[in-house]
Structure 1
Amino acid sequence: MTPGTVAPGERHLIRTDWDRHFGSPRYYEGFPGLTLAAARWLAERGIALLGLETPSVCAEAGHAAHLALLGTGVVIVEGLARLRDIPGPDCWLAALPLPLAGLDGSPVRAVAWA
């Protein structure tokens, strides 16, 4: 990936270091996230996956950013940690969900390596 570009099928991780607040009430308050416009922009470019360190992809009230991404098949992985430890812009990511019937999400054990 070239910095500043977004191409169809790519998987993107957004590093904010917000995971440093995990375990405190602050983790769920005022966290950074995507606006609806940003989510639509990524969805229109056909990304396959978006991973973040925050408890939700949504910066605004409601779930509009979620719906914009999920409506185009984008996989969302929230609550990641230590993205700062990935040494460069390219990595491998494994985030395997549990086989839970009738649900639209699952906890994962996410592992990234260069």
Structure 2
Amino acid sequence: CKRKAKQTIRDFGIRKGEPIACLVTLRKEKARDFLKKTFRAVDNKLSKRSFDSYGNFSFGIKEHIEIPGTKYVPELGIYGMDVSVALGRLGYRVKRRHRAKSKIGADHLLTAEEAMLLIKDEFEVEIV
């Protein structure tokens, strides 16, 4: 899914409507493998400030060649990326689906502390 520029920014050479970003959704094993590689790119450390109150988190990578197994391609150059992860328990779709939406109890929502524990245990990442 391509993301287009909303406005022209002359200093960066970006024109309105020009594709400037790409969005990719990964799930299950592909997401786990990608996260393991990207955590290695940031030295297996995440800030507490990276987590929101619902257990989602984001972090940035300055150069894509820092990801293990990624080769430099001169035609592409070097680019950075933001990695955003949305975590949820089973049954969370009840809140987001189109038909028969329903509220989810506070006990079922994921908190930042629970997300930090999950990331520490599953990916051996240090929360700073």
What is the TM-score normalised by the length of structure 2? 0.22
What is the TM-score normalised by the length of structure 1? 0.24
Higher radius of gyration, 1 or 2: 2
Bigger fraction of residues in helix: 2
